A and B are shown apart, each in its own frame.
Chain A
Amino acid sequence: MTALTFGYALEVVNLKKTFGGLTVTQNVSLSIRPGERRLIIGPNGAGKTTLFNQISGDLRPNSGSISLFGSDITHLPPYKRAHLGLSRTYQIITLFAGDTLEHNVTLGLLGLRRARWQMWRPLSFYGNMTTEARRTLDAVGLLQLATHPISDIAYGERRRVELAMALAQQPRVLLLDEPLAGLSNTERATVKSLIASIPRQTTVIMIEHDMDTALDLAETVTLLNYGRVIVDGERDAVIADERTREVYLGT
């Protein structure tokens, strides 16, 4: 019913992607409602990140379609998708190592503002952007490090900057690619509560291997294997499903 009223936040239909003879995405269809928390799981090489790359526009699918809140984005370049409210983080940390945390987050804000074309005023002219960047850093608990360069901070903190950069954009759909990868137990708890605190206006789609943490955050789960959707549905139903056990534990 909600689906009919609000439409889907993200709808992927019959997506297909091959690299030469290797099919990495096979007829993948996903329908994600606004505000939903979706977890995407699957063994290594299942095609999870490739799927994300197609949704964010880094890769073009061979066929199929992707739409964001009803508008077709299949052929849009990544930066236009960002302007429609799609934001993502990376599994491999992709930050500006020489720049400060504040600058990194500010770039996230700048990307959606006209000021990114401003050719005579420095970034520091836009004080409200700096304020907002600092507020986001405060939200992820890194305000005290705001003026340090990324190269000075620890791995776990970089993960949080990744998240802050995306959150600062106040996206309508947020793709998180293994936000917990490589974190210690304490850091996991921090990032987990951070993700849990993301407002409901943002739809969250997350790839994660750490089931204990990720399943707590998820409402619905999609299991991928060999580029196919194996099981798709409410969290408990997917966990209980025979095929999930098969993929993860073998028969």
Chain B
Amino acid sequence: MKWIGVALVAGSLLLPPLFAGDFYINLASQILIAAIFALSLNLLVGFGGMTSLGHASYLGVGAYMSALLTSRYGFGHGAAALLSIVGTTAMAAFFGVIALRASGLGFLMITLALSQVLWGLAYRMSNVTNGDNGIAGLTRPAPFGISLDSPISFYWFALIVATFALVMMATFVSSAFGSSLKGVRDQPRRMAALGFNPWLIRWITFVYAGFWGGVAGLLYVYYHKYIHPTSLSTTSSAEALLRDARRPGRRRGIGGAPEKLRLCLPRTLEYAAGFGVSFHCVSNADRHRSRRKQAHHPIARG
């Protein structure tokens, strides 16, 4: 029974490139990127009990850093990717120190505020970020000389990264540290009395989630070859959070590897389905609205 499920999932991920058209392959790539992003947020919300409303910060900053370094400062893709990930993770380390002074609603408000600062910077610091025009004309990297410009090659690239991300995050939450994390989520006071340092456990998880958010951001900017301040917006954070609402980490019995996969995959697929549907609606609606929206956008006019 278990293997039928695994086969179905593997099949649905491996077979589409064989027959699906470019539109659906591109959609699948975006689903994978969204899945990495959702999984990283789920480390915080589901396993850590830290409801963040600013997770788009890491996706956006990872993407912006890579875009700026490659287009404006002449870095190669390898060095730019490395710097973006290191930069995003360092930012998460700093933001974690600020946001983890609070918990619950306070934590949510601080993460929201911090992400709004970044969003504002992306909009207003137009001499660097190009403001509302975003940064266009970016390229995709060519790891080991393999071009990622075709939808299919990019899909395989995204699939490899997403699989690696899933394995890494699943290992993290089912490790001994993962047990500490879930304990701190459920009974922080008891955990402290047992000898665990709740603050440090939360902070490490926060930084790790930021790291994977940055990875999602890199894929995001590679895919779109374009970056705009909306990627940093609250809407972007909130969308990821809403799809995360069922919190798989809350379920019982996280032990062996198969269990682990069962916990993560439905979430990923659900997120993917949600993303696919909303993407479809939005992309259709945008076709009609895009001209009007540009003319009326308050900040674009301001």
Interface residues, chain A, with chain B CB atoms under 8 Å away: 56-58, 77-79, 82-83, 87-88, 90, 94-99, 103, 106-108, 110-112, 115-126, 149, 165, 169
Contacts and interface: CB of A to CB of B under 8 A. Distances in A.
Interface string B163-201: 000000001101111111011001101111111111000
Interface in B185-230: 186-187, 189-198
Given A94-B187, A96-B186, A165 B194 contact: yes
Nearest to B186: A96
Interface of B: 171-172, 174-180, 182-183, 186-187, 189-198, 250-252, 255-256
A121 B183 CA distance: 17
B176 A115 contact: yes
Nearest to B252: A98
B195 A120 contact: no
B100 to A, nearest CB: 14
B193 A126 contact: no
A111 B197 CA distance: 9
A98 to B, nearest CB: 4
B191 to A, nearest CB: 7
B177 A79 contact: no
B191 A118 contact: no
B182 to A, nearest CB: 8
A95 B189 CA distance: 11
Given A97-B186, A98-B186, A122-B175, 9 more contacts: A78-B192, A82-B193, A95-B187, A96-B183, A98-B252, A107-B179, A110-B179, A111-B194, A116-B180
Given A116-B180, A124-B255, A111 B175 contact: no
A121 B195 contact: no
A122 B193 contact: no
A120 B171 contact: yes
Among B175, B179, B251, residue most surrounded by chain A Cβ atoms (within 10 Å): B179
B195 A111 contact: yes
A169 B194 contact: yes
A169 B179 CA distance: 17
Nearest to A129: B176
A110 B180 contact: yes
A38 B107 CA distance: 41
B172 A119 contact: yes
Given A120-B171, A124-B255, A79 B176 contact: no
24 contacts: A56-B193, A58-B189, A58-B192, A79-B194, A83-B195, A94-B190, A96-B183, A96-B187, A98-B250, A106-B179, A110-B196, A111-B194, A111-B196, A112-B195, A116-B180, A117-B177, A119-B178, A121-B176, A123-B176, A123-B179, A126-B176, A149-B252, A165-B194, A169-B195
Contacts of A57: 192-193
B180 A77 contact: no
A118 B177 CA distance: 5
Contacts of B177: 116-119
